Chain A
Amino acid sequence: MTEHLLEVRDLSVRFHTARGMVNAVNGISWHLDRGETLAILGESGSGKSVSASAIMNLIDCPPGEITSGQILFEGRDLLTLDAETRRDINGRRIAMIFQDPLSHLNPVYPVGWQIAEAGMAHGLPRAKARARTLQLLTRVGIPDPEAAMAKYPHQFSGGQRQRLMIAMALVLKPDILIADEPTTALDVTVQAEVLSLLEELQEETGMGLLLITHDLGVVAEAADRAVVMEGGRVVETGTPRDLYHGASHPYTRKLLAAAPGKGEMRQPDEAPAPILQVRGLEKSYGPFRALRGVDFDLRAGETLAVVGESGSGKSTVARLLLRLEEATGGSALWKGEDLLQKSPRQMAPLRRQLQMVFQDPTQSLAPHMSVFQIISEAWAIHPGILPKARWRARVAELLEQVGLRPEHAERHPHQFSGGQRQRIAIARALALEPELIICDEAVSALDVSIQAQVIDLLGKLRDELGLAFIFIAHDLPVVRDFADRVLVMQKGEIVEQGSVAQIFDAPQALYTQRLLAAGLDADPDVQADRRAARLALAK
């Protein structure tokens, strides 16, 4: 038997929780060779991160407990080594980068110091550590690396912070780099850049790269082999191409089928008159102009997608329309009345017609209220919609409409999964019988298969109730399946708008073309074409 760089054999980890013992992973085995990229693919709760935590000795015992298995690194079982030796291996030989770089960089130290510190902690002399840091910052593409050394984490953009994390991980030239959802928090174009950076670095150093992700597109783009996990077990292993074309396990097939961006595009009918006309919408924060004159129309029953990267101002549009913030200029005519000119008192009755579903249902549902209280609050605020005697029946009805059960009404939000919570948030929005629902990244925080279900639900509601949607998203494939028309925003301006077919099949603006090329597709062959297109655009 040849020796692998890293091999996990029959690993089982369980956690003690309120609901009893949970087996996070159950007898999983995989291996990683030098110069190889292995992707561990799975949805939340599949246990995909647990094996990485076990390798890095990050599992707290208790409540966690490793019940069986071995983790062989160059033939040595990490689990039997003493803490001192493991610390030495962690960081020096095996390094890790995380999903959210901001929370893993210390805000009170300059980044140059932090990266050098990673080297000095493992015995690199100060001058050498500094030189190496400078070299790495240059390598990972931080502009003006000399000056960047003295800057603090908050002075960098999300993509740059992830580059800093990568630099920090590479200080000691590790043999293995574990990347836990390294690009999930990043914009599509930045994601593509970070992934290709990782790839180049791997080619230069010959390290093994372990990529933990939920995104089939990332697997197709970057992985040599992939391990598909579900419920703490490895269900399938293979190259991305084999998995895509010949998945044998039903779960893999379900995941592939749920990947958005393959359905029929909707053909909008031009008939109905606009119910919302936005003209010259502007918002400034001091000298910074977040929105610079945005114009668009929304017709009754239409789904308008607003896409763009972070900082493009797409969420600001929603917040201004709902008067969560005050616009600095422009008008928004809702059925002939200007929403932006209404006093809070005049606005109250209009709020019934305009509802919003937020990105993170964990935060948008009050933790101390039961589902019944959350949904029925709408009727307490707007008396006259429904007599109190009928609240209970109506809550049950709404819960069924969004695919939950009536008895869920007595529970609290934390007792639900992310997808279920978003359904509760949708039920709350529906309680007011609105005409327009603004979804601000409403499905971005959800797993692919859950995302598909929620999108289906929204589509069903749209057809049954004739709702109009403003659907704000950074994820283009989702938009492609769901929207009638698309607005593409960049830096506070609309760069292109048109029907879905126009935007996706014949994008005019260079920015739209770049966005489309940067998106990751689950099909490795399509992805290879995209990559070529991206490189062509970059030139």
Chain B
Amino acid sequence: MATPTTDDTKAPGALRRYARMLWADKLACAAALFLLMMLLFAVFGPTLLDGAASKQNLRARNAAPFTLERGFLYLLGGDALGRPLLARIIVAAQNTLVIAAGAVAASMAVGATLGLIAGYAGRTTGEVIMRLADVIMSFPSLLLAVIVLYMLEPSIGNLVLVLAITRIPIYLRTTRAEVLEVRERMFVQAAQVMGASTLRIIFRHILPVILPTLLTIATLDFAFVMLAESALSFLGIGIQPPEITWGLMVSQGRQYLTSAWWLAFWPGLAIILTTMSLNLLSSWMRIALNPTQRWRLELGGKRND
């Protein structure tokens, strides 16, 4: 991205400034901490706890949570094969986040790029791209995933690919609609008058305006992708045991829902909290990145009266 002039404004003070703005929004701050924790789990979890997470202990089958008699790892209880839930959640963080983040990032990158082209290029190109998106949208995404994964090896890479393809139209359509609106704005015309190239107009003038919208959609999509992945895993074409993801843990715990609710509850909670944190953080980011809104955060908790 052509940003030759931004380095002057992102002086050393900028980092501290964003930290202060994050502190001003306590919810977003908590969300950021939670996500940081999940990130640490994802990076270090498998190396530290892989043994503990896959070791079966039949005496601890469906062990109830909130007791420390079997040790700290059984705090959240044990699963159907007596493996400690806490350890499994921590280990599963890696697969879950890699798949979700990979799929969301890939679909956003591809969708936004195609959307920018469809919105800014001529009519024919735009029409072709839009019809392609319609084809993807009119095809049931789960069916597409089943077909593709039936033909390809079910692996993390293929899973990301399938999930990304099915989510592309969301970004494509949003981006195109926004581009069509923003390109008519006066400041884009002012840039044209100055002789700015098409790439410059797209990346310097249009993209920054629509990026907050895309990021907000991306965080919402994060949850959708996690659940879609669990659905595929449930059908047996997603992640294969002994690999684990939160989604897989939820579907494995489903049959014990009446007798041992904690099997599905804890991984479900992890999904919910992660999505919610992303959401909180994205709405904070939408304000923090917008120079006309930023004062709301810089004002802090101070009231006027």
* Interface residues, chain A, with chain B CB atoms under 8 Å away: 16-18, 20-21, 322, 324, 347-349, 351-352, 354-356, 358, 360, 363-370, 372-373, 376-378, 380-382, 388, 391-392, 410, 412, 414, 425, 428, 432
Nearest-Cβ distance from residue A64 to partner chain B, whole angstroms: 12
Is A414 within 8 A of B291, CB to CB?
yes
Is A18 within 8 A of B195, CB to CB?
no
Q: What mask results when residues 206 to 230 of chain B are scored 1 for a CB within 8 Å of chain A, else 0?
A: 0011000000000000000000000
A410: nearest chain-B partner, CB-CB: B9
Contact of B304 among A21, A360, A392 (CB under 8 A): A21
Nearest-Cβ distance from residue B288 to partner chain A, whole angstroms: 12
Stretch at the interface among B129-137, B197-205, B249-257, B260-268: B197-205
Tally of contact residues, B, Cβ under 8 A: 30
Cα–Cα distance between A527 and B163 once the two chains are bound (Å): 72
Is B9 within 8 A of A372, CB to CB?
yes
Stretch at the interface among B70-78, B165-173, B185-193: B185-193
Q: Is the interface of B mostly helix, strand, loop or mixed?
A: helix
Is B187 within 8 A of A366, CB to CB?
yes
B299: nearest chain-A partner, CB-CB: A18
* Additional A-B contacts beyond A21-B304, A364-B190, A380-B200 (5; CB < 8 A): A356-B190, A366-B191, A380-B4, A381-B197, A425-B190
Cα–Cα distance between A101 and B194 once the two chains are bound (Å): 34
Enumerate chain A residues within 8 angstroms of B47, measured Cβ to Cβ.
none
A432: nearest chain-B partner, CB-CB: B194
Is A381 within 8 A of B187, CB to CB?
no
Which residues of chain B (260-305) have a CB below 8 Å from chain A?
Answer: 290-292, 295-296, 299, 304-305
Known contacts A16-B304, A347-B195, A355-B193; A377 and B9 CB within 8 A of each other: no
Enumerate chain B residues within 8 angstroms of A358, measured Cβ to Cβ.
186, 189-190
Is A381 within 8 A of B291, CB to CB?
no
A20: nearest chain-B partner, CB-CB: B304
B196 contacts chain A at the CB level, 8 A cutoff: yes
Enumerate chain B residues within 8 angstroms of A373, measured Cβ to Cβ.
5-6, 9
Known contacts A366-B187, A372-B5, A380-B5; A17 and B304 CB within 8 A of each other: yes
B69 contacts chain A at the CB level, 8 A cutoff: no
Is B187 within 8 A of A351, CB to CB?
no
Is A322 within 8 A of B193, CB to CB?
yes
Is B295 within 8 A of A18, CB to CB?
yes
Enumerate 28 A-B pairs (CB-CB under 8 Å) in ascending A order.
A16-B304, A16-B305, A322-B193, A347-B195, A348-B195, A348-B197, A352-B195, A355-B193, A360-B186, A365-B187, A366-B208, A366-B209, A367-B290, A368-B208, A368-B209, A368-B290, A368-B291, A372-B5, A372-B8, A372-B9, A373-B6, A373-B9, A377-B196, A381-B196, A381-B197, A412-B292, A428-B190, A432-B194
Nearest-Cβ distance from residue A331 to partner chain B, whole angstroms: 20
Nearest-Cβ distance from residue A214 to partner chain B, whole angstroms: 23
Enumerate chain B residues within 8 angstroms of A347, measured Cβ to Cβ.
195
- Choose among B185, B193, B304 the residue with the greatest number of A CB atoms under 10 Å from its CB: B193
Enumerate chain B residues within 8 angstroms of A380, measured Cβ to Cβ.
4-5, 200
Is A377 within 8 A of B204, CB to CB?
yes
Nearest-Cβ distance from residue B122 to partner chain A, whole angstroms: 13
Contact of A324 among B6, B9, B189, B304 (CB under 8 A): B189
B295: nearest chain-A partner, CB-CB: A18
Is B295 within 8 A of A412, CB to CB?
no
Nearest-Cβ distance from residue A464 to partner chain B, whole angstroms: 22
Contact of A364 among B6, B187, B196, B304 (CB under 8 A): B187
Is B192 within 8 A of A324, CB to CB?
yes
Is B205 within 8 A of A366, CB to CB?
yes
Enumerate chain B residues within 8 angstroms of A382, measured Cβ to Cβ.
194-195
Enumerate chain A residues within 8 angstroms of B187, measured Cβ to Cβ.
363-367
B198: nearest chain-A partner, CB-CB: A344
Is B208 within 8 A of A376, CB to CB?
no
Nearest-Cβ distance from residue B241 to partner chain A, whole angstroms: 47
Is B9 within 8 A of A370, CB to CB?
yes
Nearest-Cβ distance from residue A334 to partner chain B, whole angstroms: 14
Is A377 within 8 A of B191, CB to CB?
yes
Cα–Cα distance between A351 and B196 once the two chains are bound (Å): 10
Nearest-Cβ distance from residue B19 to partner chain A, whole angstroms: 19
Nearest-Cβ distance from residue A155 to partner chain B, whole angstroms: 23
Cα–Cα distance between A16 and B302 once the two chains are bound (Å): 12
Enumerate chain A residues within 8 angstroms of B197, measured Cβ to Cβ.
348, 381
Which residues of chain B (140-189) have a CB below 8 Å from chain A?
Answer: 185-187, 189
Nearest-Cβ distance from residue A365 to partner chain B, whole angstroms: 6
Enumerate chain B residues within 8 angstroms of A377, measured Cβ to Cβ.
5, 191, 194, 196, 204
